[in-house]
């Protein structure tokens, strides 16, 4: 259960909903992470985990003014800085999953002095246009089948219960996020009782995804990241190419990669002890033993 909850107001008036878990001295921000709260609560024993909903997500304010959305992922970078200032924290650890795993790196490039350590899990590639070899993307038959089912749901969508449509969408989509279909039932991220989450795909396609596609990060921007970064990536990730995890670890100045071989976009679901042990070790100021120093996109060149 959360220790506290409330709202922080951004400079443009958008309210961001947060929950804190734990009461330890080490603060950890987890943007867009409330769907992770139950799984990640084991980290709260020695830390204060600060989860919050991004703008136009979850319990944060719905935003209809295009001027408050047009910067896409960089609005989220600004909002993380707003959250940090609200809690009066000088340097914090960050955990970002999926596109929040990319966002926290953008934050570290913009505010390098306010970041201690970063864990990014299943982050999209630095450049959305990158096409990796098949063994680094896992564009398999399951991906094709899920996309076909989602298209069929959209085609036959009827006016009616929006929550039920959302639940059907997630019952199909969650299969993508695990390597073993038997684990799909462990994915409960839909939050279909919340209007923002029922409408997320429109926001994703119209605002967030285009902003990710506009990113063209330079070597100078990578070099601005002062924090140590632990990338954790499932080798069978269909949503964020495993090649992207390798590329982040290769291009950042002080990063290493933990590869979870038989896992997809939610590696802590399929290998919880390994993932959480790696995070605990990293936050306790050491690299996990299986963290790889990446020198090549080719996994066969791994160096420990």
Residue 157: band (very low, low, confident or very high) from pLDDT cuts 50, 70, 90? confident
Q: Is the pLDDT of residue 303 over 50?
A: no
Residue 154: band (very low, low, confident or very high) from pLDDT cuts 50, 70, 90? confident
Predicted pLDDT of residue 295: 94
3-state SS, residue 23: coil
Cβ atoms of 52 and 18 closer than 8 Å:
yes
Whole-number Å distance between alpha carbons of 90 and 106: 18
Cβ atoms of 242 and 136 closer than 8 Å:
yes
Predicted pLDDT of residue 301: 63
Residue 171: band (very low, low, confident or very high) from pLDDT cuts 50, 70, 90? very high
Q: What is the mean pLDDT of the chain?
A: 95
Domain ranges of the chain: 4-138+209-301
Task: Provide the whole-model pTM.
Answer: 0.95
**Overall average pLDDT of the 180-192 stretch:** 95
Residue 260: band (very low, low, confident or very high) from pLDDT cuts 50, 70, 90? very high
Predicted pLDDT of residue 302: 54
State pLDDT tens for residues 17-52. Answer: 999 999 898 999 999 999 999 999 999 998 999 999
3-state SS, residue 232: strand
Q: Is the pLDDT of residue 156 over 80?
A: no
Q: List the one residue out of 267, 98, 239 whose CA is nearest residue 180.
A: 267
Cβ atoms of 258 and 232 closer than 8 Å:
yes
Whole-number Å distance between alpha carbons of 97 and 125: 13
Cβ atoms of 102 and 211 closer than 8 Å:
no
Q: Say which residue, 46 or 211, is predicted with more confidence.
A: 211
User: If you write DSSP's letter for every residue of 193-216 in order, what string do you get?
Assistant: TSHHHHTHHHHIIIIIHHHHHT--
> Residues 49, 52, 113, CA angle at the centre, nearest 5°?
70
Q: What percent of the chain has pLDDT over 90?
A: 92
State pLDDT tens for residues 118-130. Answer: 999 999 999 999 9
Cβ atoms of 252 and 245 closer than 8 Å:
no
Q: What percent of the chain has pLDDT over 70?
A: 99
Predicted pLDDT of residue 304: 43
CATH of 4-138+209-301, one of 3.40.50.1820, 3.30.365.10, 3.90.1150.10, 3.20.20.140: 3.40.50.1820
């Amino acid at each position: 259960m959360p220790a506290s909850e409330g709202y922080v107001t951004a400079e443009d008036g958008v309210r961001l909903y947060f929950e804190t878990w734990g009461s330890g001295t080490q603060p950890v921000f987890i943007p867009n992470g409330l769907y992770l709260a139950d799984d990640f609560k084991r980290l709260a024993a020695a830390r204060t985990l600060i989860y919050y909903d991004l703008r136009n997500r979850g319990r944060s304010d719905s935003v209809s003014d295009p001027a408050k959305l047009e910067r896409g992922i960089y609005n989220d970078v600004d909002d993380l800085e707003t959250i940090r200032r609200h809690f009066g924290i000088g340097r914090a650890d960050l955990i970002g999953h999926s596109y929040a795993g990319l966002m926290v790196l953008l934050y570290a490039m913009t505010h390098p002095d306010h970041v201690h350590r970063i864990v990014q899990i299943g982050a999209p590639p630095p450049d959305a246009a990158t096409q990796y070899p098949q063994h680094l993307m896992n564009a398999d038959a399951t991906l094709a089948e899920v996309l076909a089912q989602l298209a069929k749901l959209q085609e036959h969508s009827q006016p009616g219960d929006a929550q039920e449509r959302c639940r059907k969408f997630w019952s199909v989509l969650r299969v993508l996020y695990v390597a073993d279909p038997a684990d799909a039932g462990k994915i409960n991220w839909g939050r279909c009782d919340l209007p923002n989450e029922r409408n997320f795909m429109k926001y994703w396609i119209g605002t967030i995804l285009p902003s990710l596609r506009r990113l063209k990060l330079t070597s100078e921007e990578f070099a601005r990241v002062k924090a140590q970064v632990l990338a954790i990536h499932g080798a069978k990730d269909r949503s964020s190419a495993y090649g992207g995890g390798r590329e982040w670890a290769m291009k950042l100045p002080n990063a290493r990669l933990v590869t979870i071989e038989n896992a997809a976009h939610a590696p802590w679901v399929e290998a919880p002890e390994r993932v959480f042990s790696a995070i605990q070790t990293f936050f306790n100021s050491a690299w996990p033993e299986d963290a790889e120093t990446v020198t090549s996109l080719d996994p066969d060149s791994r160096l420990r």
